[in-house]
Chains A and B, each alone.
Chain A
Amino acid sequence: MKHLRLYQLALLVAVLVFWYLMTTPGLIPPFMFENDRQAAFFFGEPLVVAERIGRWFFVEADIYRHLWVTLVETLLAFAIGAVLGLACGLWLALSPLASAILEPYIKALNSMPRIILAPIFAVWFGLGIGSKVALGVTLVFFIVFFNVYQGVKEVSPVVLANARMLGASPRQLLRHVYLPSATSWVFSSLHTSVGLAFVGAVVGEYLGSSQGVGYLILQAEGAFDINTVMAGIVVLTAFALVLDALVGRIERRLMKWQPRSGETERL
């Protein structure tokens, strides 16, 4: 479609205009609420939200510190969760005995709603960065773990036999066959796992912290400042989109050996 971007932009503007019309006090007579300030109280006002964001970024410039904290938590949670998931996935996939013994426990841990661990982590690791990272790790770990496990199980037996015939020792098989195959599965789940690390960080902050974007939202909610809550949500969404775009770039760089559809050049 030719004007795709235009239509997308028009949709956004339409939603914002609708929001503005419905919430600005005194603009149209109230039909849902008792007085004309209540809509703004419950749903916030787009102009105030925009102003709040502007102040965060340009006037007071205090959002960067919080964004930085959230980013650090997200990256740490992803890195630790991915490494642990990779290690455990490789180990269990290559050791039938261990996987047979641990299988029911892994199933149980995976089906447990792990967000509920947040209060426990807060007790264990305090209100600082540690408890948020721990929550993110529990979310990322299982995604990576299952993907690696699958990846190792689905290594082509011919590729494996070929590597053995070429003289690979068990160690070299791990390094040159299992690991690349498993990491390709990790990268294919990169979007999901980075997204979950982010969820872990924000939810952790929201449940108790002293800095981070989740903390800002928690503070504003305590003061019934819906505009700031909305502003926080907008910032988080934009941040998540940027993060996702970055992951996409990294993925394309690292996975250039994988065939992509439509890889023909148009003249």
Chain B
Amino acid sequence: MTVPALELADVSCTFVSRDAPGQRYTAVAGVTLTLQPGEFVSVVGPTGCGKSTLLNMAAGLLAPSSGQVRVFGQALGGINARAGYMFQAESLMPWRTALANVMAGLEFRGVADAREQAQDWLRRVGLAAFADRYPHQLSGGMRKRTSLAQTLAIDPDIILMDEPFSALDVQTRQLMENEVLELWASRRKAVLFITHDLDEAIAMSDRVVVLSAGPASHPIGEFAIDLPRPRDVAEVRMTPRFVELHHAIWSVLRDEVLQGYAQQLGRA
């Protein structure tokens, strides 16, 4: 039995309102989740169920209120140095060119040939010609590619992705999903992928974890995705097995989505 790349052991996260300490919100409670080296796991759940909270705890940006995060068997304190994080929102430094952005992580680590490696990564995501553009001069899809190159350039053992493609149009999105799968297949890193899109989750992952509606959300189902690889995210959606899996997972997810939606309406 190998040591899991990432282990969330019975973690909970409670936020306390800074203005009114009496007000608490438990985003996630009692989550146990393991990620084997080289495994691609997606987490799906209704909106506001604490998916991002889970990822932030795995990244070490957020300390769990209880429970433990273990990275390759070692308890995590502070930033998870073996993880790369691809954010949902714009995360590029606007004052750096695309190349300088991809270089950033290598530069922070004091890698000697940072520039060459970064150029190589830009070429791999198809942006070699845009190396000296600033983020505002790139399209949304190009910015995401740059983010991807930036995250992968530091060669992390664990890749955390928080709805990385949710802001993209459908065509760009499928292209990028395939690219990510290709890059992943060549390097076989552990990936924890957060999404609200069940199709995306099934098409890309080895395993799909369903979270319940918040507050105190926790995994309520886990499905192994036995679709053969390599996959094309657009084509795999047509296969009967995909439809079967989708049906099975959706039947679990649907109630939670409705419940989460009702709660949001009630809260507003």
Residue numbers of A with Cβ under 8 A of B are: 156, 158-159, 161-169, 172, 176-177, 180-181, 184, 256-259
Residue numbers of B with Cβ under 8 A of A are: 59, 61, 79-81, 83-85, 87, 89-97, 104-105, 108-109, 134-137, 150, 154
| CB atoms of A180 and B79 under 8 A apart | no
Q: How far is the CA of A84 from the CA of B19 in the complex (A)?
A: 34
Q: Which residues of the partner chain B approach A176 to less than 8 Å between Cβ atoms?
A: 93, 104, 108
| CB atoms of A257 and B87 under 8 A apart | no
Q: Which residues of the partner chain B approach A165 to less than 8 Å between Cβ atoms?
A: 59, 61, 79-80, 83-85
When C-beta atoms are compared, the residue in chain B nearest to A184 turns out to be B95
| CB atoms of B91 and A161 under 8 A apart | yes
| CB atoms of A162 and B95 under 8 A apart | no
The 5 closest A-B pairs by CB, nearest first: A166-B105, A162-B91, A259-B136, A165-B85, A257-B134
Q: Which residues of the partner chain A approach B93 to less than 8 Å between Cβ atoms?
A: 159, 162-163, 176-177, 180
When C-beta atoms are compared, the residue in chain B nearest to A181 turns out to be B95
The SS class assigned to the B binding surface is loop
When C-beta atoms are compared, the residue in chain A nearest to B135 turns out to be A257
Q: How far is the CA of A159 from the CA of B91 in the complex (A)?
A: 5
| CB atoms of B90 and A167 under 8 A apart | no
| CB atoms of B108 and A166 under 8 A apart | yes
| CB atoms of B94 and A158 under 8 A apart | no
Q: How far is the CA of A165 from the CA of B62 in the complex (A)?
A: 12
For A156, A169, A181, A184, the residue with the greatest tally of chain B CB atoms inside 10 Å of its CB is A156
| CB atoms of B87 and A161 under 8 A apart | yes
When C-beta atoms are compared, the residue in chain B nearest to A166 turns out to be B105
**Shortest beta-carbon distance from B179 to chain A in Å:** 20
Q: Which residues of the partner chain B approach A161 to less than 8 Å between Cβ atoms?
A: 59, 61, 85, 87, 91
Q: Which residues of the partner chain A approach B92 to less than 8 Å between Cβ atoms?
A: 159, 162
Q: How far is the CA of A3 from the CA of B97 in the complex (A)?
A: 40
CB contact under 8 A between A257 and B95, given known A167-B81, A167-B109: yes
Q: Which residues of the partner chain A approach B85 to less than 8 Å between Cβ atoms?
A: 161-162, 165
Q: Which residues of the partner chain A approach B95 to less than 8 Å between Cβ atoms?
A: 180-181, 184, 257
Contact partner, A164, options B79, B134, B135, Cβ 8 Å: B79
When C-beta atoms are compared, the residue in chain A nearest to B147 turns out to be A162
CB contact under 8 A between A167 and B61, given known A158-B87, A256-B134, A258-B94: no
